[in-house]
Each structure stands twice: as C-alpha cells, then as structure tokens.
Structure 1
Amino acid sequence: MIDIKHLSVRLSGRPVVRDISFAARPGQLTAICGPNGSGKTTTMKAVAGEIPYDGSVSLNAAEVCELAPWRLAAMRGVLPQASALSFPYTVREVVSMGVTAGRNRRPEQSERTVRTALASVDLSGFEGRFYQELSGGEQQRVQLARVLCQIPEPTIDGKPCWLLLDEPVSSLDISHQLTIMRLARNFCAAGGGVIAVMHDLNLTALFADRIALLKGGELAACGTVGDVLTDERLEQVFGCRLRVNRVPADGKPFVLAHSVLED
C-alpha cells in the first residue's frame, strides 16, 4: 500500500502541507479532495516522489524518497494536472514516451502497448496527429495513455502498481469522464491502486472507495465516502452550504449517472 505518515511540505519556505497521515490500499480508489489551495497537488507530488518532504511516504513498503528513479517509475505512473510540450510531437510519440525499455523491449510489443493504451482512452486512430492540434480534453487523454504505457499492468510479481492521477477528468466531457473513471476502477479491480485528486464530488462519491479531504494544507477528514461526505463537514471545508443526496428545493433538474457502475 501507500502509507503516508506525518507528511509535511514547505515550498519557498512556506508550509503548504502540514502533518497529513492516511493510507491508500491496492484494490481501492482513494480520492484527494478539497478547495483550491488546500494542498492536494502538493500532496500528490510528494507521494509521487517529485518534491522533498518531511515525514514518511512508503510505497509498497519502500520509502519513496529513497527509491532510485527507475525503480519508482516501474511502480507508479503520474498524470500531472497540466502538461505542456514545446515541440511538435505526434500522439504516438508522446504516448511512446511512457513505454519503459525494461518492460517492452521488442518494437512490436511496444507498438501494441501504445495501441492498447490509446484505445482505452478512446483515442484509436489519433496516432499520427500532432499533440498541439488536439483539444485540451484530448491532450489530457493522450497524457493518460502515456501513463498507462508506463504502468501497463496493475500488478508485477504479485505486487500492486499505482496510478497517481491529478485531476484526471478536469477537461473532459461527461462521457469521457465516465470512461476514465471506469478505467481507474478496473485498474483497482485487477489488483492495482489509484490515488486521484478530484474536484467533482459526485464522481468522487460514485467511484471512490475512500476520501482524504484537505483544508488549508491539513487533513480535515479521511474515510469512506459515506463517512466523509456529510452536510456539516462539506460546509465546514468548502465554506458554502452543501447538501448530500437531496433534490434542490426549487425542483431544478440535476444530472448524475446513477447506473454507471452497472454497465
């Protein structure tokens, strides 16, 4: 599992994350939620081993900051909140960056991995298009395909692999939001683990097993969806009146894909 104990991070000398502790288990999707500026992305970067931290972040019983980069890359794939490319790469070239030399040595195997990853994010046939010509949502899915090429299997030698996804559905239409969240759930069902920074509380409630709720760089709550998503706690954390599982008082319609997990 990923075990986070007393995690603290300072950026430019300023404390951004303070004494956060929670665990993410294989077979489960753990969501990190909270208002803007609450420390979600900073926490994710620390868990991914991308920035220095105080405390402990243990990935499959190994301290993240002590792992060689190639070992870390074989155990977890990271989808950042935003990705910018300065050169005119094709979609195939971007996705192929995720193919690790040690796991896919034969060219035909690498090509098959790329095709499978693109198909899983509904981008079959996009291989020859230039990355910069795509919409924001399409670029986001290309980057996820790259991550899936890096971590093509949920387990290796009986040990779980991990997807660390920072706002994986932020630029996507509702159909592709559901596609990506189903993909994450299937990865968990096959023995892997997922930590995802999420803003959409409805999607979080639908797909997550556990939620770490942050406020002001601290852990406000951690537990199951039912334990964390309560009227009182959401109002306290987000600073506005929110009601869980209630039809709006004025009768206005709202859209929530209740049956998605049955498909």
Structure 2
Amino acid sequence: MLRAEHLSFRIGEKTLIDDVSLRLTPGEFTMVLGPNGAGKSTLLKLLTGTETPQHGQVWYGDRPLPSIPLATQARQKGVLSQLLSLPFDLSVADVVMMGRYPYFDLNPTAQDKHVADDCLASVGMLTFKTRAFASLSEGEKQKVHLARVLAQLHRPAGDESVKYLFLDEPISALDILYQHQILSLVQTLASQTMVVFVIVHDINLALQYARTVILMDQGRIHGMGSPDEVLTADAIEAVFQLRPYFLTHPGTGRRVMIC
C-alpha cells in the first residue's frame, strides 16, 4: 500500500499541493483528473520522491519513502513522465533496456533481453526494436517509454512483491484505438498486486477504466472514490466550470459524459 499524509508543497509564495492525504491499494486502478494547474503532476512527483514535500510524509508499505535505498526503489517503482525526448541517440531496444538497468551490472542477460522484447510486444512496438528512437512519432515514443517502465517493474515467476506504477498522461499522444489498448493493459497490471496511479484528462476514459478516481482542484483533493461517487455533474461543474450531462451507454450500461 502507498500512504501519503498531509502533503504540502509550494514554490515561493505559490502553494501547489495543500494538505493532501491519500491511500492507494494494490489491485486498484487509480486515475487522477483535474484542470491544468490543479497539482496532478506535482502530486505524482511527491509520491515518487522526485520532489520533497515541505510538510507531510509518503510511505511505501510500512517504510517512509526517503528511508528506502534508491536501488530498492528502482525495482519497486516505475515512473513515466510527460518528457518523451532523449538527449542522446538510442535504438528502441536500447531505450527499453534502460528499464532493466536495476537488474544487471554491465551487460544485460538473455533474460533481460527477453523481458524487454515482451514489454515491447505488449505495447505493439516489437517490430520497431531496431529503429532509432528519435525517428518515431510522439505516440510511438510514448509507447516505447511505457515499455521501458514495464520492463523495470517486470516480476519473475513467484515474485509477489508490491510494485508501484506512476504514469503522467501516458496516452496524450495516442489515437483512440491505442488509448484503449494501453489503458486495458494498465488495467490488467493493476490487478496484479500493483499500485497504479495514472493522470489523464479524459473523464469518459476514467468512467470506463478506473476503479478509483482522484479529482483535484487548486492543489487539493476535491473528491476520491469510485468514478460514480466522485465524477458527478456538480463536482465536475465545480472543478472544471462546465456543466456536464450523462447518458447511459447502450452496450455497457456505463455512464458517458457529454457537454
């Protein structure tokens, strides 16, 4: 379980995260929504240790995050940020192999290469493994980086340890087909003893895939719970300043938002 209590973070006089507490449980697919500037990416950085809160603490299991050795963290948590470019020229296979760095010293083993290929295949990019990463489209780069993170969190047979997956807008550059394919993949991963924290902007995708939704506004959690509990017309209007309407999908029975 991941636990955060009373997190606050500011830059200068501006408060970006204001007294945020939450618990994330393995097996739940948590999606985070909110307008631009709501604090979503900053919260992700605090939960992953990229930024240090001025107040509050984050625990992974029963251990405060700062007390966990970096080598251990590298095998426990994977983070996909919005930054897709790389400052050096690598092949797609080399980029994904970066996810295996915590598991070997100098040279990857045959098992590391097998894991990297499996993760590329899971995002539909195995046939691109010899391509130069810089030659890819933004959507293709997004899928390769996701494969890198999945390679980092790969479990060998018999490993039941909790893993932590953090994705910051992982489908923003993908077309609609790949959006659903990637979210279906992540939904499956969430069911496998994994804490999953995903930032998205599409409310309908959250209604379809999330088990837990965090709705943020002005650095605070406006609501946290099931999509039907949190994503109400009143809450969406309060946070996004837009009154939505909902229909029932004739095939699935799920709510669908329209504006």
Q: TM > 0.5 between the two?
A: yes
Alignment of 1:30-41 (within 5 A): 30-41=30-41
Q: In the alignment, is the contact (CA less than 8 A) between 1:60 and 1:159 conserved in 2?
A: no
Between Structure 1 and Structure 2, how many residues are aligned?
Answer: 252
Q: Which segments of 5 or more consecutive residues in structure 2 lack a partner in the other structure?
A: 255-259
Corresponding residue for residue 227 of structure 1: 229
Tell me, what secondary structure is at the counterpart of 1:100? Answer: helix
Question: TM-score if structure 2 supplies the norm length?
Answer: 0.91
> What's the CA shift for 1:101?
4.2
Distance 2:80 2:215 in 1: 20
- Match of residue 108, structure 1, among 103, 107, 110: 110
Corresponding residue for residue 144 of structure 1: 146
Tell me, what secondary structure is at the counterpart of 2:151? Answer: helix
Q: Deviations over 1:196-252 (max 9, x none)?
A: 0111111111111111110011111111111001001100010111123369xxxxx
> What's the CA shift for 1:184?
0.8
Distance 1:217 1:14 in 2: 10
Q: In the alignment, is the contact (CA less than 8 A) between 1:98 and 1:146 conserved in 2?
A: yes
Tell me, what secondary structure is at the counterpart of 1:117? Answer: helix
Distance 1:202 1:16, change over 3 A: same
> What's the CA shift for 1:155?
9.4
1:83 is the counterpart of 2:118 = no
Q: In the alignment, is the contact (CA less than 8 A) between 1:154 and 1:193 conserved in 2?
A: no
How well do the aligned residues superpose, as a CA RMSD in angstroms? 2.3
Aligned letter for 1:63? Answer: P
Aligned letter for 1:65? Answer: P
> What's the CA shift for 1:12?
4.2
Q: In the alignment, is the contact (CA less than 8 A) between 1:77 and 1:147 conserved in 2?
A: yes
Distance 1:222 1:93, change over 3 A: same
> What's the CA shift for 1:152?
0.8
Distance 1:164 1:49 in 2: 12
Q: In the alignment, is the contact (CA less than 8 A) between 2:71 and 2:102 conserved in 1?
A: no
Alignment of 1:1-263 (within 5 A): 1-53=1-53, 54-102=55-103, 107-153=109-155, 157-245=159-247, 258=252
Distance 1:117 1:213 in 2: 30
Tell me, what secondary structure is at the counterpart of 1:99? Answer: helix
Distance 1:106 1:137, change over 3 A: closer
Aligned letter for 2:133? Answer: Y
Distance 1:190 1:59 in 2: 17
Distance 1:143 1:87, change over 3 A: same
Distance 1:100 1:259 in 2: 44
Q: Deviations over 1:26-70 (max 9, x none)?
A: 001111110000000000011011111121211122211222211
Q: In the alignment, is the contact (CA less than 8 A) between 2:5 and 2:58 conserved in 1?
A: yes
Aligned letter for 1:110? Answer: D
Displaced runs of 4+ in structure 1, greater than 4 A? 103-106, 154-157, 256-260
Distance 1:33 1:235, change over 3 A: same
Distance 1:50 1:155, change over 3 A: farther
Q: Deviations over 1:125-159 (max 9, x none)?
A: 11111111100000001100100111012997433
Tell me, what secondary structure is at the counterpart of 1:38? Answer: coil
Q: Which segments of 5 or more consecutive residues in structure 1 lack a partner in the other structure?
A: 248-255
Q: Deviations over 1:91-150 (max 9, x none)?
A: 011111010343797621111011001000000111111111100000001100100111
Corresponding residue for residue 252 of structure 1: none
Most deviating of 60-69 and 233-242 = 60-69
Distance 2:176 2:224 in 1: 27
Q: In the alignment, is the contact (CA less than 8 A) between 2:75 and 2:102 conserved in 1?
A: no
